[in-house]
A and B are shown apart, each in its own frame.
Chain A
């Protein structure tokens, strides 16, 4: 047994309202730079839908992730090492910019400088790639809320896998949102595809990062990732991906997407797993067994044996303690309501999802039934094959049973808690029917419905030098200006952003934590540090974010 710790996330899809706040705040924080205009580390897809980039789930075409050879060995679907090197000059499986979308801006200057004229001036869309006028034909959320359906929606690769009947009726039946970030996989195929070895998994927290100084722009990782969550910065010629906001995680605060999520549906916590068994689990012969295989790799932090091994492996005690309190571990293994996204890609993804019960609830309510009655709910889950089949293609490689069980547990909780809330006698048989105890149902309800910030995010701070060299924090608090930071420099002589790394810390995340957890405005207190959207806590007017206030006469007198 080799115990390792992994930062992981669970998202409760029932609560996602598809507002894209997470995507926008993530973009503001990480990818509002030239070269990554089209990059969405976090994106929210409407399902059924094609996803982003379009039809990324069609591995017949994109060849992402792993597959088993005939002899049962795990190998990259896009081809082994030799094939990778042979196609290095032109990767035949790289999505084109049009599979994402051509980024554009509007010619606002024209509006501002237009002379008085009879016709209203227009701001034309201009391509951010070529600078020319362009016709906007697609974007990151073109098919949001089933827009363009049914013509566009039928291209959903998942819909193609489910039965004819489902395909015809999906539109009447259901729609939900799927927010996606990088999965920070236990067996990341992006890292395995990188010829330069620039993508690595951190031993301490399992976060998968691209070393910007080692990346040579071979683009194989983009192909390798079945979730298409590695992007190519077309300006710097380097790959970039979701960093799980590691500078924030390191000091114990959640990722930007989780922090700003309107539905408060994201949970972050530590999961302990046995690194020695990952490869075996990922090589499970039957796709449909992969969900259980992955769960069997996780280790119970309450088990004294595991704790001993964790200590031997050098995992600090507060991390083990955090693993015990981890909402992610609870949702995956205790209550068993979270499922992995596309386990059949065999990368052992670590962002899991609680499938939405709302399609059933809506169907019941619309047909005049009591949507909180457990018999009606259980009946609906069995009768409404359509959403179940679709969800199973997403989360369990097509096996409807685990999905059905999860939905039953959610439905059971709904019915049980209604009695509690109405002061009616409790019905233990409901808990029993879904395989939970009454206490468990109540705890699960607490975690799903009421959990506060501290319960949703159980994030132990990083250990190591950072604490010992407190004097350096001023400059060091954010590791952005190290390798794998997105690089904050200007342009060097050899193309975009070449040159040495800038020693300017972008944020002081410790100060950020302090400010976020106090009620009053805490001044960043240092003229050298800029306040931006990422570290501004909304308290007080941040000079760098707001335009200067027009000086009034009164002000001038004071000066």
Chain B
């Protein structure tokens, strides 16, 4: 069971995450969109959407910091664990609460605004449940752990475990030591990663940073737009390539 949860699931999920995105990008560029519903309703969206999105951006940054930077590295530059912990917990709690409030507003809006509700697909609903569950599990780890007073130092368990996956030597026992809360959060996250490429979440990867540097007006040639691989059966007429007589070495 432990091998399944902490070895097989992660690798399957990562493979699906990467492969899924490649496949979706090739197969479904047209479906790759935020599918914004702002046209229908913007009063609630104006509140909820920035809260959620900025919140989750901080959450992502926090996770990158927390999971990828080992405790030894912060120790080495002289940041004490207590200090790090205090900062991480407070920032994490703030952004977590932001994200959850945001998504609560958004889901409320989705449920109560007729047009938005009818534009919600089953796929969306499933994704929302998963996303909210993961967020709640994550935030409760942060908050509850500190309320009880014995915060689990995930930087000595979950984080090294996470890194170990990428060294292809998954440290399963580190994960089994972590609390049940962390185990739930991590499992949910793996599932979320696995469905990610098949949901609207793909728009995370279209963050338009290129906008900052490209020229304002884009010109493109029609020719480039028309060019596409020749369809089967429509190959232009070409002379068959005759087998080349082997060139004789110049002999002198």
Contacts and interface: CB of A to CB of B under 8 A. Distances in A.
Interface of A: 81-82, 84-85, 88-92, 94-97, 127, 129-132, 187-188, 191-192, 194-197, 199-205, 212-219, 232, 234-238, 250, 462, 464-466, 469, 471-472, 475-476, 479, 482-484, 487, 489, 492-495, 497-501, 503
Contact of A492 (B31, B34, B206, B225): B31
A204 B28 contact: no
B225 A483 contact: yes
B218 A199 contact: yes
B45 interface: yes
Contacts of B214: 197
B118 A129 contact: yes
B219 A494 contact: no
A213 to B, nearest CB: 4
A91 B40 CA distance: 13
Contacts of A465: 223, 226-227
B218 A201 contact: yes
B140 interface: no
B226 A479 contact: yes
Nearest to A197: B218
Contacts of A96: 39-42
B230 A202 contact: no
20 contacts: A85-B212, A94-B39, A96-B42, A129-B40, A130-B117, A131-B118, A188-B217, A196-B206, A202-B221, A213-B32, A218-B36, A219-B36, A237-B33, A464-B222, A465-B223, A465-B227, A482-B228, A492-B28, A499-B28, A500-B27
Contacts of B46: 90, 92
Nearest to A470: B236
B115 A127 contact: yes
Contacts of B50: 89-90
Contacts of B28: 492, 494, 498-500
B177 interface: no
A505 B225 CA distance: 15
A518 B36 CA distance: 47
A495 B115 contact: no
A297 to B, nearest CB: 14
A495 B35 CA distance: 9
B47 to A, nearest CB: 8
B111 to A, nearest CB: 13
A127 B45 CA distance: 21
A88 B198 CA distance: 23
B115 A97 contact: yes
B176 interface: no
Nearest to A275: B219
B211 interface: yes
Most A-side CB within 10 Å, residue of B38, B52, B123, B214: B38
A466 B206 CA distance: 32
Given A234-B40, A466-B226, A482-B228, 19 more contacts: A81-B212, A89-B54, A90-B42, A90-B45, A130-B118, A131-B118, A197-B214, A199-B218, A203-B220, A204-B221, A212-B30, A214-B29, A216-B33, A218-B34, A219-B36, A237-B34, A483-B225, A489-B30, A498-B28
Contact of B231 (A192, A482, A503): A503
Most B-side CB within 10 Å, residue of A88, A201, A219, A482: A88
A499 B41 CA distance: 27
Contacts of B223: 204, 464-465
A454 B32 CA distance: 43
B121 interface: yes
A373 B214 CA distance: 57
Contacts of B34: 216-218, 237
Interface in B183-203: 198-200, 203
A237 B199 contact: no
Contacts of B115: 97, 127, 129-130, 234
Contacts of B225: 202, 479, 482-484
Contacts of A90: 38, 42, 45-46, 49-50
B216 to A, nearest CB: 4
B94 to A, nearest CB: 18
A132 B114 contact: yes
A468 to B, nearest CB: 8
Nearest to A74: B216
A interface, over-half SS: loop
B36 to A, nearest CB: 5
B182 to A, nearest CB: 30
A237 B118 contact: no
A95 B54 CA distance: 23
A84 B212 CA distance: 10
Contacts of B117: 130
A91 B38 contact: yes
Nearest to A471: B234
A82 B208 CA distance: 11
Nearest to B44: A90
B37 interface: yes
B236 A217 contact: no
A201 B222 CA distance: 9
Most B-side CB within 10 Å, residue of A130, A487, A495, A499: A495
Given A129-B40, A465-B227, A492-B28, A235 B119 contact: yes
B219 A200 contact: yes
A234 B33 CA distance: 11
Contacts of A197: 208, 210-211, 214, 218
A494 B31 contact: yes
A494 B226 contact: no
B22 to A, nearest CB: 15
Which 7 A-B pairs rank lowest in CB-CB distance, beginning with the nearest? A498-B31, A130-B114, A195-B208, A237-B35, A129-B115, A192-B216, A213-B29
Contacts of A238: 30, 33
B53 interface: yes
Given A89-B50, A234-B39, A202 B220 contact: yes
Contacts of B40: 96-97, 129, 234
A475 B231 contact: yes
B31 to A, nearest CB: 3
A4 to B, nearest CB: 9
Contact of A84 (B38, B206, B211): B211
Nearest to A190: B217
A483 B35 CA distance: 18
A200 B206 contact: no
A202 B123 CA distance: 37
Nearest to B210: A197
Contacts of A464: 222-223, 226
Interface string B70-96: 000000000000000000000000000
A500 B41 CA distance: 30
Contacts of B218: 191, 194, 197, 199-201
Contacts of B221: 202-204
